[in-house]
Structure 1
Amino acid sequence: MSEEVKKKLEEELFLFNTGEYFDSYLTLGCNRDTYEGNSGFRFTVWAPNAISMAVVGDFSDWDLGIEMEKIGKTGCWTAFSDKAIEGQCYKYRIEQPDGTVKLKIDPYAFEFEVRPKDASIVKGLPEKKWKDGLWSANKKRFSIYERPLNIYEVHLSSWKHHDDGSWYTIPELKNELIPYVKKMGYTHIEFMPLMEHPLDASWGYQLTGYYALSSKFGTMEEFQDLVEAAHLANIGVIMDWVPGHFNRNDYGMVHFDGTPQFEYTDKNKAQNNRWGTMNFDLGKAQVQSFLTSNALYWIEQFHLDGLRVDAVSSMLYLDYDIGEWTPNEDGSNHNKAGVEFIQKLNKKVFERHPYTLMIAEESTAWSKVTKPVHMGGLGFNYKWNMGWMNDTLKFFEMDPLSRKYHFNLITFSFMYAFNENFILPFSHDEVVHGKKSLMHKMPGDRYNQFASLRTLEAYMMVHPGKKLNFMGNDYGQFLEWRIHEGLEWQSVNDEMNAKHLHFMESLNLLYKKERALWEVDHQADGIQILDADNASETLLTFIRKGKKLRDFVVVICNFVPVERKGYKVGVPYEGIYEECLNTELSEYGGVWTKNQGPLKTVKETTNQQAHTIELIVPAMSVLILRPKRIFGVPKN
């Protein structure tokens, strides 16, 4: 290694060792390089306690390999090979402090062998010329908080299967998934983790290769093309990301150099017993460089619009579901290193990409999750509303005639709806492991199940907060999600399923059209409760508001299969109103053949409003009314 190369590496690795190198994948791992006029690949790895290191692979001796040189006091090793070419396999041969010799993967590898093989693959970064500049420019025009956000959550290999049982390739998904999502009116696709992982049953949440698209899915280039195609169709792409814990298979990062390197030294902190994984030592500078660089890698190299950060709670608490735990010196259970890492991560991501979605899957009452770091927050811009999801599903799973006794499950969320910037999730977690599909959770016969499901989905759409729905929810799949099988797309041939799919498409398109449903989502000004105390009839009424006075809708939710005739609801202005949604229309699977209307106001005070509309509220339904012609309101 020349002095010039050594100096450059030492400068970059100094930053890595301080936790401040946020493009560390450009130095560590396998990267294209030229040395003494020869083209090839440089291999650089962090292994501070290794006795010796070598690169072994198809381009070298698999027993001894190419000896690696230690780079000063950086704890890193490097070697160059002009024999290495893309597509060849390699690993690191590590002599550990106790004399044990192990072969380990490259934590920074961009590609791996197709499972069950596990070697890293020689691969340089793709040099794609992106064509999604208009999409990127449009993201800067309006605040993400004042835009519609309706996410379709997808597990890539079980969305659709071929007749022979094989899953769709990424190019096939590009041609089918993106047109489907566009037609259905979703704004974003969220993929469950796509990085390299050895076990399908982990759903991708137990990772071995953080910088590699899983070999089972396809190539980096194919995924880049899929994201670009989504952007050209005006669809954003989000991916789940797992910075809290990693797979503990022996060939991976666990005890990489023979010591607790990526994981905590304290076994109580290192062992994640809930998931059978290892927890990252989030207070270690090199781990911070590794993970923050990884987040930026997926955002920058793949133009992702956001990351949903998995299991944030496990990074915030020392005692989060792990059994024995080691408290702080003052006896507290907050993981101070985890909190500081999360704040640092979000600050750096927003520094470079202020329009990115950083979404926390955080299931506790930790405060200020979506507040900026300078205000004492964690710095995310969105958080899944797990409380709303749990209460809502518990309510809907009840016998409808018992719901009036538990009406607080529906109304309680309005007490905290604006404490954070929330996304309302009906995710994969709620339709697996015996929990039943959303459709199967609904009580009653098939007709009433679909009526309840329409009411549930419409209620989510009118409640403050952005939206997320897992695949299969959109047409009312009856069986819960099974990872090794494709969705039951044949169900769409059934009339009721087909009508529910049509309903969801109509609901999604209505959501995008009505500014009142998303423009003021995170302030109390965006909603006016009309009646949240009608438990006896199990009816909830409120107004959703946009920024302009004329941008509002009146919402009536009937959570029982009892029709209410002559129902009066208060409205703010005199005029004529119309239904823009009746979930009980026959085209959606209900019994109503047409909308009610026009709905004229009368001068009568109801719900503290000066004007009143009288109408029929269908059994088990959501009605959304919008002003058609109103008086006394400025037009701007």
Structure 2
Amino acid sequence: MAERKKKTYEIGELDQYLFGQGNHYEIYKKLGSHRVKDGHRQGVYFAVWAPHAKSVSVVGEFNEWDTQANPMKREEPLGIYTCFIPKVQEDMMYKYCIETYTGDYIFKADPFANYAELRPGTASRVHDISELKWSDTQWMKRREDWDHKKEPVSVYEVHIGSWKKHPGCEDDGFYTYRDFGKEIVKYVKDMGYTHVELIGIAEHPFDGSWGYQVTGYYAPTSRYGTPQDFAWMVNHLHQHNIGIILDWVPAHFPKDAHGLADFDGTPTFEYADPRMGEHPDWGTKIFDYGKNEVRNFLIANALFWVEYFHIDGLRVDAVASMLYLDYGKNAGEWVPNKYGENKNLEAIDFFKHLNSVVLGRNPGAMMIAEESTAWPKVTGDVEDDGLGFSLKWNMGWMHDFTEYMKLDPYFRKDNHNLMTFAMSYAYSENYILVLSHDEVVHLKCSMLNKMPGLGFDKYANLKVGYAFMMGHVGKKLLFMGQEFAQLREWSEERELDWYLLAEPEHQAIQNWVRDLLHLYKNKKAMYEADHEFGGFEWINADDAYRSIFSFMRHSKDGKKNLLFVCNFTPMERADYRVGVPKRKQYKLLLNSDEEKYGGTGEKRPQVYKAQKQECDGRPYSFAYSLPPYGVAVFEF
């Protein structure tokens, strides 16, 4: 007897084949729960991959959580279970009841669910996202031709739940995606950022994980609203020419009973050997990158955010932990690869596949690696044995920079190289300079409280540090609150201390960061040759005794170049002279001594004419009175 013809919404042989090969890039349209029409009946089609389960049924509000009411059919050869249930209403909660090979029953949330019960609840919700409303066609079309190497990228890293809260609310006081979208657009446009990076968007059970321990990879967290609300926010940012990046966590997942861990009673998504499949330090499971279906789950998830929800880039968390088999492990706690080395060959292949597919299908999108070691060619071409990322977090620069900034200015002359060393490898990768949430938690102090001294000195140090960062080679990222000198460390439990902006010192820092960001975005010399040797040039990298750094940023056509002078001590240099390459006029664009930046407000000439007088190995120079912790940016 011939097998009945599959309905279009059902899992077919081709779906199974592609999923088994790891190449079903839209598998999220088949697995999970989907509202469909079966003849004259409206209902929901459920499909879940549980290869070692003895049986699976769907339990939920629609069947009073009865484990016998809706058994699922096993589809071979992959062990995908399916069923159609009529009359299931929108947003009804459900789980999969899985009978394990040992005869136990476990209840799991849907790995492909698009919406979830608000924590502490752990159920999935039936939710139709098939008709999201978009009006960002212009943005998406422009994105196809956008090149991150040639354009400004200044990122505002934000945790929605603690950026701002509604006062006096009995619940968490969270802004919804729509509330946040309206407010963040106004703030980001005013400040001059080009992109917003959101942490903690994929569904996660514990607020304190900040979203880095995910249970719902295909579900925007219900803390802030529905998937439609999330799409509205993305659309709204795009309509105002603001890009949006998500933190994405393919490195590990938590052991919560309703999540991916031991999904069908066996290690399904994770490596079976605990030496491969567990992070001892983090108490989490590691994805099995050698399993095609798991690779497919993750690659399709990246595409889900970039293609289905129009996300402009993914910041990939904890890349180093994936690349190294011995990451965070002692001898005997890890298994070498077939060559006896500590490289995870399967993770390397995964990254090459991931980046080739995501960026190949979506020109103009970005894949950004948070990679903390000297692994070669992280942003190199896959064809040249690189990993294929667009950008890499420059953790070396961040470490050296923060160590230098913490020093008493008296000792900076002995550590001058901390600020110059990054230029020796600046072109080995495509870098983004980051001062992220990780630098202002766990007793590391806020950025302001890392600074030495008291009062004026702290704020002045922060100003000159930010200026150096903005002038340095590399894209930029600042975590929320750093732009107005948040005093306390960040906590996900409370909103930022916006009341500080009533204090002139904090308002001055915000003014300074705003003007630096607009300078960065509006002056091509700051970004268009970021990844080329000709884009940056030291004037004096060796003035260690005075702890002064001077350098130039060049535009490609050479018509609008910038000169930075940064004084990292409280000593005034009234007789400061800087060498320059041309006998031109140098226009003062930015002066940290202005009153709005917390300076003295002393009047200064706006134009300086270079004289034929050798300085810094240059034939020409001009004099400029450099105040304590002074910053001056000139255009020529």
TM-score by length of 2: 0.97
Structure 2 Cα separation of the partners of residues 177 and 396 of structure 1: 30
Alpha-carbon distance change, 108 to 8 in structure 1, aligned in 2, over 3 angstroms: closer
Q: What CA deviation, in whole Å up to 9, does each residue of 1:522-578 have, x standing for no partner?
A: 111101111111111111111111101112111111111111122221222222111
Among 92, 99, 112, the alignment partner of 1:95 is 99
Aligned to 1:612: 621
Deviation at 1:83, TM superposition (A): 2.1
Match for residue 7 of structure 2? 5
| AA aligned opposite 1:450 | Y
Aligned to 1:18: 21
Is the contact made by 1:585 and 1:595 (CA closer than 8 Å) also made in structure 2?
no
Match of 2:165 among 161, 165, 176: 161
Query: Partner residue of 1:360?
Result: 369
Aligned-residue offset at 1:75: 1.4
Give CA-to-partner distance per residue, 1:369-395, whole Å, 9 cap, x none. Answer: 001101110000100000000100100
Task: Give the whole-Å Cα distance in 1 for the aligned partners of 2:586 and 2:608.
Answer: 5
Secondary structure of 2:186's counterpart equals: helix
1:133 corresponds to 2:137: yes
Question: 1:79 & 1:10 partners in 2: Cα distance?
Answer: 16
2:129 touches 2:228 (CA, 8 Å); kept in 1?
Answer: no
Tell whether the 8 Å contact from 2:313 to 2:368 is kept in structure 1 after alignment: yes
Paired residue for 2:464?
455
Contact 1:192 1:203 in 2 (8 A): yes
Deviation at 1:43, TM superposition (A): 0.4
The answer on whether the counterparts of 1:49 and 1:259 sit within 8 Å (CA) in structure 2 is yes
Match of 2:188 in 1: 181
Check conservation: 2:359, 2:366, Cα contact below 8 A: no
Show the counterpart of 2:320: 313
- Contact 1:126–1:220 under 8 Å retained in 2: no
Distance change in 2, residues 1:8/1:50 (3 Å): closer
Distance 2:142 2:591 in 1: 33
Asked if 1 retains the 8 angstrom alpha-carbon contact of 2:174 and 2:224, the reply is no
Structure 1 match to 2:552: 543
CA distance in 2 between partners of 1:209 and 1:321 (Å): 25
**Kept after mapping to 2: 8 A contact 1:148/1:511:** yes
2:75 to 66, 71, 74: 71
**SS in structure 2 at match of 1:90:** strand
- Structure 1 counterpart of 2:606: 597
Q: Distance in 2 between matches of 1:140 and 1:565?
A: 50
CA deviation after TM superposition for structure 1 residue 419, in Å: 0.7
Instruction: State the match for 1:144 in structure 2.
Output: 148
Q: Does 1:47 align with 2:47?
A: no
Please report how far the alpha carbon of residue 61 of structure 1 lies from its aligned counterpart in structure 2 after TM superposition: 4.7
Do structure 1's residue 35 and structure 2's residue 42 form an aligned pair?
no
Aligned to 1:518: 527
What is the rounded CA distance, in whole Å, between the counterparts of 2:185 and 2:45 in structure 1? 38
Instruction: Say if 2:587 is the partner of 1:578.
Output: yes
Superposed CA deviations along residues 142-170 of structure 1, whole A, max 9, x for unmatched, are 42211111000001100011222622222
Q: Report the alpha carbon displacement of residue 130 of structure 1 after superposing the two structures with TM.
A: 1.3
Deviations 1:308-364 (A, max 9, x none): 000000110100013411112332000000010011000000111011010000001
Confirm or deny: 8 A CA contact 1:385 1:424 kept in the other structure. Answer: yes
Deviations 1:467-518 (A, max 9, x none): 0000000111111101100000011011111121111111111111211111
Structure 2 residue 348 is matched with structure 1 residue 336: no
**CA–CA distance in structure 1, aligned partners of residues 574 and 633 of structure 2:** 16
For 2:306 and 2:144, locate their aligned partners in 1 and report how far apart those are by CA, in whole Å. Answer: 16
Secondary structure in 2 aligned to 1:91?
A: strand
Q: Does 1:506 align with 2:510?
A: no
Q: What residue is the counterpart of 1:258 in the other structure?
A: 265
C-alpha separation in 2, matches of 1:94 and 1:169: 34
Residues 450 and 500 of structure 1 are in contact (CA less than 8 Å); yes or no, is this contact kept in structure 2?
yes
- Secondary structure (helix, strand or coil) at the match of 2:511 reads helix
Q: Which residue of 1 aligns with 2:234?
A: 227
Please give the alpha-carbon distance, in whole angstroms, between the structure 2 residues aligned to 1:258 and 1:236: 41
CA-CA distance at 1:10 after TM superposition: 2.3
Given the alignment, which residue of 110, 114, 120 partners 1:116?
120
Q: Where does residue 469 of structure 1 map in the other structure?
A: 478
1:190 partnered with 2:193: no
Match of 2:634 in 1: 625
Deviates more, 1:603-612 or 1:6-15: 6-15
Unaligned runs of 5+ in 1: 628-636
Q: Counterparts of 2:602 and 2:201 in 1: how far apart (Å)?
A: 45
Rounded Cα–Cα distance in structure 2 between residues aligned with 1:129 and 1:114? 24
Instruction: Tell whether the 8 Å contact from 1:555 to 1:625 is kept in structure 2 after alignment.
Output: yes
One of 274, 285, 296 as aligned partner of 1:289: 296
Which segment drifts farther, 279-288 or 549-558?
A: 549-558
Contact 1:10 1:74 survives alignment (8 Å) = no
SS of the residue aligned with 2:12? helix
| Residue 556 (1) aligns with residue 558 (2) | no
Report deviation, 1:607: 2.7
In 1, the alpha carbon distance for the partners of 2:556 and 2:105 equals 65
For normalisation by structure 1, the TM-score amounts to 0.97
For the residues of structure 2 that align with 1:608 and 1:139, how far apart are their CA atoms? 43
SS at match of 1:250: coil
Question: SS of 1:464's equivalent?
Answer: coil
Letter in 1 for 2:17: F
Q: What's the RMSD between the two structures over aligned residues? A: 1.4
1:451 touches 1:584 (CA, 8 Å); kept in 2? no
Query: Equivalent residue of 2:623, what SS?
Result: strand
Say which of 206, 209, 213 aligns to 1:202: 209
**Residue deviations 1:573-596, cap 9 Å, x none?**
222111111122221012233343
The one-letter amino acid paired with 2:7 is V
Aligned residues: 627
Whole-angstrom CA distance in 2 between matches of 1:280 and 1:529:
45
| Percentage of pairs with the same residue | 42
The alignment partner of 2:624 has SS state of strand
2:114/2:219 contact within 8 Å kept: yes
Q: Distance in 2 between matches of 1:140 and 1:615?
A: 45
CA shift, 1:141, in A, is 4.2
Indicate which of 410, 424, 429 corresponds to 1:415.
Answer: 424
Equivalent position SS for 2:229: helix
Deviations 1:39-61 (A, max 9, x none): 21110010111111111111225
Report the 3-state secondary structure (helix = DSSP H, G, I; strand = E; otherwise coil) of the residue aligned with 1:594: coil
Q: Give me the whole-angstrom Cα distance separating, in 2, the residues matched to 1:182 and 1:312.
A: 31
TM-superposed deviation, 1:298: 0.7
Deviation at 1:8, TM superposition (A): 5.2
Please tell me the residue identity of whatever aligns with 2:264: D
Question: For residue 42 of structure 1, what is the amino acid of its counterpart?
Answer: Y
Deviation at 1:2, TM superposition (A): 4.1
| Gap runs ≥5 in structure 2 | none
Find the partner of 1:217 among 191, 214, 224.
224
Following TM superposition, the consecutive aligned residue runs of length 4 or more in structure 1 with deviations greater than 6 angstroms are none
Task: For residue 252 of structure 1, report the CA deviation from its aligned partner.
Answer: 1.2
Q: Distance in 1 between matches of 2:603 and 2:128?
A: 60
1:270/1:141 CA distance change after superposition, 3 Å: closer
